[in-house]
Structure 1
Amino acid sequence: MTELRHRGATEKELQHQNSEDKGSETEGKERDGASDTETKSDSGVPEVPVPADDTPEVLNKALSGLSSRWKNWWVRGILTLAMISFFFIIIYLGPMVLMMIVLCVQIKCFHEIITIGYSVYHSYHLPWFRTLSWYFLLCVNYFFYGETVTDYFFTLVQREEPLRILSKYHRFISFALYLTGFCMFVLSLVKKHYRLQFYMFGWTHVTLLIVVTQSHLIIHNLFEGMIWFIVPISCVICNDIMAYMFGFFFGRTPLIKLSPKKTWEGFIGGFFATIVFGILLSYVMSGYSYFVCPVEFNNDSNSFTVDCEPSELFQLQDYGLPPVLQSITGWDFANTIPGHGGIMDRFDCQYLMATFVNVYIASFIRGPNPSKVIQQLLALRPDQQLHIFNSLKAHLTEKGLLPALEEAA
């Protein structure tokens, strides 16, 4: 009996202790829930929604009998051919159409990244986020495209009065537009959501830095000559395709954990295939002035033209190898989207490549811009212009160039 009473008391104590533990757990959960809610209202980040399969229904039905691996192969292949065909069409349409296509791609990439931000923070109903994001996109594009037009189409800007006024005060107008957007952002701030709103302000500006700035560099490369636009983009496309091909058929060794489907075989195969492709494409395109000449505005025809005498950079040169290499080789080198992810997935490397090409052109290719020099000269006072004219005349006379020009005239 004593044992039974003792056992019963013990069970009651255990039940009481368990109920207290459960109560404390419930209290803890409630406290944690409250703290989570408080944290969420200021710094919580919900998971980004996973996009659904966007493969067209026609392809799904046609490839329904294949395994997922081969189905993905055919989807990627068909849409890759479609995108390459579209790429050839826009190249044929000329540089101005290419510029508009770059602008459209830029807007789509910006939309994809901003939509991610909006999906993450949508539950907090932050005011004006989308409006301000697109407003800042407009401001940055106005600034960059205005700079480009002034640099490359100076004669057109000087001929049209509205363009001349906009060009003269371009940076002031751009700054005023941006300052207006910043004031709108400050006015949209809501208590308890300051941190989130500044997160999204930073999100927008980092997106502008990645997408708009680098797409602007693509436009600069394009105006220097279509070869600087087509070859880098084509090399990225070739690398993407060939890395997938080599990885699909020969891939065995994983490359990185971040992308488990990528393999060393695909990486190495894509690397060498891209080098060969880049050399051959550059060789073919350098023989056509349409691809190597910069885009200019012709006052006589009142249109944009691509016509010039190709520089020595695009002419074949003979380079001798060191004797040691000649003895080894024995010959002379001088004589020889569904299935793809979003738009940003296809153009992330393009933006990085455009930045490299722009730096390369600025460092090794581009010289002083005559149009920009003339623009700066015309903005000077008459006495300053006369001083520069006399200095230039004296310099040319000393070099012996001015008399030769006068005799020829």
Structure 2
Amino acid sequence: MAEIRRRKEGEPVSDDPSSQSDRRSAADSSDHVDSEEEKSPEDKYVEELSKNLPQGTDKTPEILGQALKDLPDRWKNWVIRGIFTWIMICGFGLIIYGGPLALMITTLLVQVKCFHEIISIGYQVYRIHGLPWFRSLSWYFLLTSNYFFYGENLVDYFGVAINRVGYLKFLVTYHRFLSFAMYCVGFVWFVLSLVKKYYMKQFSLFAWTHVSLLIVVTQSYLIIQNIFEGLVWFIVPVSMIVCNDVMAYMFGFFFGKTPLIQLSPKKTWEGFIGGGFATIIFGFLISYFLCTYQYFVCPIEYSEELNSMTMACEPSPLFTKQSYSLALLGLKSTSIRMYPFVWHSLSLSLFSSIIGPFGGFFASGFKRAFKIKDFGDMIPGHGGIMDRFDCQFLMATFVNVYISSFIRMASPAKLLTQIFSLKPEQQVQIFDVLQENLKNRNLLNLNMN
């Protein structure tokens, strides 16, 4: 293209193959445009855009900046990142101490902040003047999607209690219809807000909003489901991602020499492998520790007797020690006692250390596309909330799929919710069938004895 431009401008063009080869090799060896004249309008626009977007890792509290001003930039970033890592870990511990409700509220707040950070970039990319409704529409779709997904969780786990309240029974029975009606309102609102001059930008933002909802809201819904299965299904995966991220950074900082992926030049094979081994060891230790406490392993259910949520239960076989026979080097087999969940944690740790980082690589590619370092500037040394949770959402999906595929059994609470939604004669029919089945089982047991 540069050669064609020079021909049009009347500049001499060398036909020497070696000079053409030099130009091609120079172009191939660089991933940026050398001169302002050769930059496309899109490149110039993105560069201008990046100046208005947050660069979170550059934001440091003034007091901390003064205390570390004599340190080299590399070590200064290491110290700041380490301080705020420990602050976040301690905060995470306090939230766990607060119980399931605190975790759910935190998940919702994190979801809203992540959505805000992604949408803010979209607003900057597709700047639209004089169209105030689009910002309102984005948050309306967030509200609608949360009403649907969180309503599904409430119906699944508290349907028995909600059905007993007259005015709430209507919301349970027609929850999906109401959710769809709310979405239709937003859809019609969007169509009516279209302005001829901004069609492309408006449809681009519409798609941007929906992809953001898919990434953020759907994943937070799955996180809530994991919490209801038992806090261990939330704490262990989240801790594994944190451990992998911290240890990969540590191994990469001190030993990293071999680049891992072009999207993240600072990521190294040494950090990737070291973080993986550390995560597997950490996963075994934390899983064994949590399995010893009923508070972490019991599913969260609604108790009709207590008229509230409860986490008291008889631990399932998954969280009860079992004997395993191990043959060591062909010698006599040795028996050990271990919680079955600890073996399942190996699958979680392998995913968090091998596939989990690709959530971060995906986020890195997204940020590079818009020439920004971070999604936000809320956490010094780390960036925005989305910068810390880009791997967590992918992990939440895996955990939910793993539970539904290999762990979960039929839930009596969900079955009761469906039964209570039936007509009285249908409920009587189910009662008669169950009663007959129990009689036959009792007779069978008596004959066997």
Tell me the amino acid that sits aligned with residue 330 of structure 2.
S
Deviations 1:90-115 (A, max 9, x none): 10010011100000000000000000
For 1:222, the equivalent position in structure 2 comes to: 227
Q: Does 1:297 align with 2:339?
A: no
Q: Which residue of 1 aligns with 2:107?
A: 102
User: Is contact 1:45-1:120 (8 Å) kept?
Assistant: no
Instruction: Map residues 322-337 of structure 1 onto 2, 5 A cutoff.
Output: 323=327, 326-327=329-330, 334=337, 337=379
| Residue of structure 2 aligned with 1:178, choices 167, 171, 183 | 183
Q: What residue in structure 2 maps to residue 352 of structure 1?
A: 394
8 Å contact from structure 1 (residues 253, 265) kept in 2: yes
Partner of 1:253: 258
Residue 290 of structure 1 and its aligned partner are, at CA, apart by 0.5
Q: Is the 8 A contact 2:325 2:334 kept in 1?
A: no
Q: Aligned partners of 2:311 and 2:297: how far apart in 1?
A: 8
> TM-score, normalised on structure 2?
0.76
The aligned amino acid for 2:272 is F
User: 1:9-408 alignment to 2 at 5 Å?
Assistant: 47-49=49-51, 50-52=53-55, 53-321=58-326, 323=327, 326-327=329-330, 334=337, 337-400=379-442
- Provide the aligned C-alpha RMSD in A: 2.7
Letter of the 1:319 partner, please give it: Y
- Post-superposition CA distance 1:262-296 (Å, at most 9, x none): 11111111000000001110101011110011112
Whole-Å Cα distance in 2 between the matches of residues 235 and 140 of structure 1?
29
Q: Report the Cα offset of residue 147 of structure 1.
A: 0.7
Change (3 A) 1:380 1:331: closer
Question: Which structure has the larger Rg?
Answer: 1
The alpha-carbon distance between structure 1 residues 335 and 374, as it changes in their structure 2 partners (threshold 3 A), is closer
- For residues 335 and 139 of structure 1, what CA distance do their matches in structure 2 show? 45
Query: Structure 1 length normalisation: TM-score?
Result: 0.84
Distance in 2, matches of 1:401 and 1:151, equals 34
Contact 2:324 2:338 in 1 (8 A): no
Q: Distance in 2 between matches of 1:316 and 1:359?
A: 25
C-alpha contact 2:323 2:335 (8 A) present in aligned 1: no
Equivalenced residue count is 368
Q: Which residue is equivalent to 2:30? A: none
Structure number with higher helix proportion: 1
Q: Shift of the alpha carbon at 1:153?
A: 1.3
Q: Distance in 1 between matches of 2:67 and 2:332?
A: 51
C-alpha distance 240-293 of structure 1, shift in aligned 2 (>3 A)? same
Cα deviations by residue, 1:111-166 (Å, 9 ceiling, x for unpaired): 00000001112254444111000000000000111110111112321232232221
Change (3 A) 1:160 1:277: same
Q: Distance in 2 between matches of 1:112 and 1:329?
A: 59
SS class of match (2:302): strand
The one-letter code matched in structure 2 to 1:290 is Y
Shift in Å, 1:329: 11
**Alignment partners' CA distance in 2, 1:172 and 1:96:** 27
CA contact (8 A) 1:46 1:120 kept: no
CA apart distance, 1:246: 0.8
CA contact (8 A) 1:326 1:332 kept: no
Secondary structure (helix, strand or coil) at the match of 2:260 reads coil
Give the C-alpha shift of residue 45 in structure 1: 10
- Identify the range of structure 1 (329-338 vs 100-109) with the bigger mean alpha-carbon deviation: 329-338
User: Contact conserved, 2:321 with 2:338, CA < 8 A, in 1?
Assistant: no
Asked if the contact 1:242/1:269 (under 8 Å) is kept, the reply is yes
* Contact 1:46–1:121 (8 Å) recurs in 2: no
